[in-house]
Structure 1
C-alpha cells in the first residue's frame, strides 16, 4: 500500500466515510470535498494525518496537502471511495447532500459567497491546463522573439513555434467550451449542453460576408465577445430552463425535446442579448481595472498586494480567474496577476525572517524547510497554514510585505502576464513584453518588505525557542519541595485541592466523553466537563478574567499562579450569537472563588444548542503534566478536590 493510498484512506475515515462524500475535486494544493453532513467530519483526526498542512471548513471542506502531493492523494481518494462497498450511489449522495445543505446554516454561508465559490470551482479543474499551456506559450514567445531578433534561423525554428502554439491554443482557443461544461456541472445543467452554449460564443461559421449584427449597436458581433463572463451567465440561465422544462415534458420525449428547446432559446439569448451585454460588462470591467491601476499606481498596487493573501487563506482567490482570462483575451495579458503575486513574496520574506529569528525552534524550522521551496515557486498554502497563520503576527507582516511588492509593480505599471500560472519565480516566463526584470524587482521588494516587517515587528516570543509556544506551568512538585521553597501550595502541589472549586451545580464527566472531537481529543488542552443544572457560572479560582468571547459563551481565566483555563458553556453555542447569556464581569477584572461570571438561560441553550455539556480546559499545562479527575456524577457548586495535577506516566 502506497503512502498516498494510506493518506487517502485515513482522510476518508476522518471525513465520515464514503457515505458522507457527495463530491470531491482538487486544485494545486487542496483536496476539496463536498460533505453530506459537516457534523460527521472529525477535524482533529484530519489534522493529525501525515502530510496535512491545514484545513478550511467552508461550504466545501478543503484539506491543504501541498503541490504534487494533492494530485496523488486525490487519485487514491477516488480509489478508496470505490473500494468502500458500503458507498451509496452518486445519485443518492447528491440527493442526500442537497437535503443536508439546505438544513446546514453556517455563519459564513451567504448567497454571495456561495456564488463566488461556485465560480471558483468552475475554474479549479482547469488550473493544471492553464499552468502547462501558459508555460508552453512562454517558451513559444521566447523562440519567436529570438527568431525576430535574428538569433535563431526561421526556417528551422518556426515549425517548433507553430507546434507549441497549437498545444497552447488547445486550451485558450476553446476555453469557453471547457468553462461551459464545468459551469453546467456546478449550476446543475447538462454538461454537454453547457459546452455547446460555450461554443456558440465562438460564432463558428460566421464570416465577414454574412455577419451577425449586434442589435444594440448595429455592429457585427465578434467571436468570443463577452468571453467567459457571458458563458457563465448563459449556462446559469440554461440550468433554470432545463429544470423548468423537465417539470412538464414527458419522460418518453425528454431526451429529444428538452435539449432542443433549451439550446434554441438559450442560444438565441446568448447571441442577441448575453454576448452584447457581457461584452459591455467585460470591457468596462477591464477598463475600470486598467484605470484604477493607471491612476492609483503605487497606492492601488499596495492595497491589492495586502488584500490578496486573506483571499488565498479563505480559498476564494480562484474567483479572480475569469477576470484574468478576460484581461488576457482583451489586452493579451493580465496586469492584475503580477501585482497579486506579490502577496506570495511577502510571505516568503516573512518566513525567512522567522527562520533567522526562530532558528532554535527546530520543529518550526523543519516546517519552514519543507514549505519554503514551493512558496518561492508560487504555491503559498503550505506557508500560510503551516507557518505564518498559526503564529498570527507574521501573517499580518507578510500581507504588508505583499503590499510593498505590489506598490513597486504598480509604480512600474504595465507589467502583465500572458497566461495564468503560479506566482513567485514560476511566473517569470509568463511576463509579457520582456518586462520580467521589473517583475523580479517587485519580488525582491516583497521579499525585503516581508522580511523586515516580520523581523522587527512580527516575531511572536513563543515561537523563538522550541516548546515556548506553551506558557507552561511548573511541573508538579512534592509537598517537601513546596515547603522548602515557600511557594504557594495550590498550583504546585500534586493536587489542586481547594485552589479549584466546581463552577456549576451539575454532572461531572471525563473530557473524553464530550461529544465534540475538538475537546474530547484534548487538542485544546486537558481538563474535564460538567453538564450544569443551575443558571449561574461562578469563578472556580482566584485570579483574573483574561478573555470573554464576543458571543459570551466562553470565558478565559488565569490563576494567581499563572495557570490558564477556558470555560466553554455548551457545545456549538457560538452560533447563538450571545443569546441566552448575560455577562456579569469584564475582561481584566480580578475575581475570587465564587465570583459570579455568567448568567445562562438553561432552557433556551438546551433547546437551541448541540449540548449543555461545558468543557473546562487547562490550556497551558506543561507537556509533562495532566489532569486527573477525582469525582464524577452529580456534584454541587463550590466543592473542592475535584481534580488533581499529576505527572504523565513515561
Structure 2
C-alpha cells in the first residue's frame, strides 16, 4: 500500500474524517486525536500492512507505529484528507505528555494500592469477626448466660451511682441537729424522692433489661417488674371488707418485695421466653394483640404463684442457715456472714438478714438489744471499699479506674450497691 492508501484506510478505520480532530508525528508514531473513541476498533489498525503497532490512550488518542522513513509521509497525506495541519510534536510537548502519562500511571497504581489496602482491611475485619464468633462458640452456655446477666445490671450502674450519692448525702443530713436539718423543705424532699425512686423501682429496670437481653419486649418486662414494687394503689394490695386479698395455695396476702432482685431477674427472663414461645405458635395476623396480652397474663400468674413463693422459700432457707451460723459457729459464723452479705445484696436477698437484725435490736431479746451482726456487715462494707481503693491504685486498666473512681465516693457515704455491681 502506498502512503495515500494507508492514509485513506486510517481515516476509514477512525470513523471518518469528521471524527478526527488532529494528527501529529513524533519519531515513528502517528498520533491521531479523535472526537469519539468508542466508534473505533483499535485492533483493526493492525490490518494495515505497514503498521508495526497500535495503542490507545486517555483523551481519545490513538498511536500507530510506522517505519521512520514513512511515518511523516503518511501523516502529510492524512492531513490533506482531513484538511488538518500536521503538527509535529516537539520534545518539550512529548516530555509533558510523558509526565502526564507517568502521573496517570502513578494515580492508577496509587488507586490500585488503596483498593488492595481496603481489601486487606476488610479481610482483616472479617477475620477478626470470624475469630470472635469462634471464641463465642468456645464459650460454654453457662458463661454466655452469666454474660447476659452482667448485661442486665451493667446499664443500671450510672443511675445507682447518682441516686446512691443523693441517698448517702440525705441520710447524713437526716441526722443533723434540729435547726440545721433540711427535713420538711421542698427541695430536700425532691432530692430524697430521687434517691428513693431509683432503688424502690430497681426491680422494674432489672426486669426490663432481663426481658430485653433474652430477646423479649422490654416494655412487657417493665410491666411485670412493677409486680415487685410495693404501691398501696395496687389492687392486689388493697382490702375487701377491710380484709387483705388472700392468695390461693399460700393463703397469705401478696408481698411484692419477696425474693428481691433475683426473682425480678427470673421474672424478666420468664416473660421473654413466654413471649417468644407465643410468637412461634400464634398466627401472624393475631400476634400484635394476643402476644402481649397473653404474655402479661401468663407471666403475672407465674410470678405470683411460682417465682414469688420460691423467693420466699429461698429467703426462709437463707435466714435459717445464717441464724444457725450466728448462734452456733460464733467467729466462723461471723466470717461466713460477712462473706455472704455482698452476694446476697447483689441479688436483692439481703432481706434474709432483716429478721436476724430485728431479733438482735430487740431490747427484750436474747442479746438485750446488742446487735453483733451489724458491725460485721459494716466492716464488710469497709473492707469492700478498701479493696476497691487498692485495685484503683494498682490496676493499669483505665476503664476499671474510671468505674471505681465513679462509685467510690458513693460507697464511702454508705451506699455500696454500685460498688457491688461493679
- TM-score w.r.t. the length of structure 2 is 0.52
Identify, as 1 or 2, the structure richer in strand. Answer: 1
- Structure 2: where are the runs of 5+ without partners? 1-120, 358-373, 417-422
Partner of 1:114: 144
Of 404, 407, 412, the residue aligned with 1:422 is 407
Work out whether residues 282 and 326 of structure 1, in 8 Å CA contact, stay in contact via their aligned partners in 2: yes
Partner residue in 2 for 1:379: 404
Dislocated runs of 4+, deviation >6 Å: 13-16, 301-305
In the other structure, the counterpart of 1:144 is: 174
Aligned to 2:300: 267
| Residue equivalent to 1:181 | 208
1:105 aligns with 2:141: no
Instruction: Tell me which residue corresponds to 2:218.
Output: 191
SS at match of 2:196: helix
**Deviation digits for residues 37-70 of structure 1 (CA, Å, limit 9, x no counterpart):** 3516xxxxxxxxxxxxxxxxxxxxxxxxxxxxxx
Post-superposition offset of 1:122: 0.3
How big is the shift at 1:144?
1.1
Give the Å deviation of 1:236. 1.9
Counterpart of 2:269? 236
Report if the CA contact (8 A) 1:304-1:340 is conserved.
no
Q: CA deviation at 1:141?
A: 0.8
> What is the CA–CA distance in structure 2 between the aligned matches of 1:117 and 1:247, rounded to whole Å?
26
CA contact (8 A) 1:144 1:158 kept: no
Looking at structure 2, the residues matched to 135 and 127 of structure 1 have their Cα atoms a distance apart, in angstroms, of 12
Alignment of 1:422-501 (within 5 A): 422-423=407-408, 426-430=410-414
The counterpart of 2:131, out of the listed 39, 42, 45, is 39
Unaligned runs of 5+ in 1: 1-12, 21-34, 41-99, 309-319, 352-366, 381-420, 433-650
Structure 1 residue 119, shift from structure 2 partner: 1.4
Aligned residue runs from structure 1 range 507-526, under 5 A: none
Q: 1:244 to 1:158 in 2, by over 3 A?
A: same
Does the C-alpha gap of structure 1 residues 207 and 324 become closer, same or farther in structure 2, counting only changes over 3 Å?
closer
Partner Cα separation in structure 1 for residue 415 and residue 271 of structure 2: 37
| 3-state SS of 2:273 partner | helix
Q: 2:281 aligned with 1:296, yes or no? A: no
- Quick check: 2:216–2:275 contact (8 Å CA) kept in 1? yes
Per the alignment, in what secondary structure is the counterpart of residue 430 of structure 1?
A: coil
What whole-Å deviation, never above 9, does each CA across 1:333-381 have from its counterpart, x for those lacking one? 97665443343244467x4xxxxxxxxxxxxxxx97x979x85x9728x
State the distance in 1 between where 2:295 and 2:311 align: 20
Which residue of structure 2 lines up, in the alignment, with residue 326 of structure 1? 349
Contact 2:160 2:198 in 1 (8 A): yes
SS of aligned partner of 2:178: coil
Cα distance, 1:295–1:324 mapped onto 2, change above 3 Å: farther
Instruction: Tell me if structure 1 keeps the 8 A contact 2:152–2:213.
Output: yes
Please list, as runs of the form range in 1=range in 2, the aligned pairs for 1:283-362 lying within 5 A after superposition.
283-285=316-318, 288=321, 295-296=331-332, 299-300=335-336, 320=343, 323=346, 325-327=348-350, 331=354, 337-347=381-391, 351=394
2:196 to 169, 173, 176: 169
- Report the Cα distance in structure 1 between the residues aligned to 2:257 and 2:219, rounded to whole angstroms: 19
Contact 1:201 1:224 (C-alpha < 8 Å) held by counterparts: yes
Helix, strand or coil at the partner of 1:188: coil
Give the Cα separation in 2 of the matches to 1:191 and 1:240: 12
- Structure index of larger Rg: 2
Contact residue 213 and residue 221 of structure 1 kept, 8 A: yes
Shift of 1:227: 2.2
Q: Post-superposition shift, 1:324?
A: 5.5
Q: Does 1:219 align with 2:252?
A: yes
1:283 CA displacement: 4.7
Return the offset for 1:273.
Answer: 2.0
What count of residue pairs does the alignment treat as equivalent? 266
Go from structure 1 to structure 2 and tell me whether the alpha carbon gap of 1:238 and 1:326 turns closer, same or farther (over 3 Å shift): same
Selected match of 2:312 from 263, 266, 279: 279
Distance 2:312 2:164 in 1: 24
Partner of 1:135: 165
CA distance in 2 between partners of 1:141 and 1:130 (Å): 16
Work out the CA distance in 1 between the residues paired with 2:193 and 2:227. Answer: 21
Structure 1 CA distance for aligned equivalents of residues 349 and 338 of structure 2? 23
User: 1:259 Cα shift?
Assistant: 1.1
Partner secondary structure for residue 125 of structure 1: helix
Q: For residues 113 and 255 of structure 1, do their structure 2 counterparts lie closer, same or farther at Cα, with a shift above 3 Å needed?
A: same
Alpha carbons 1:344, 1:378 under 8 Å: kept: no
- RMSD over aligned CA atoms reads 4.2
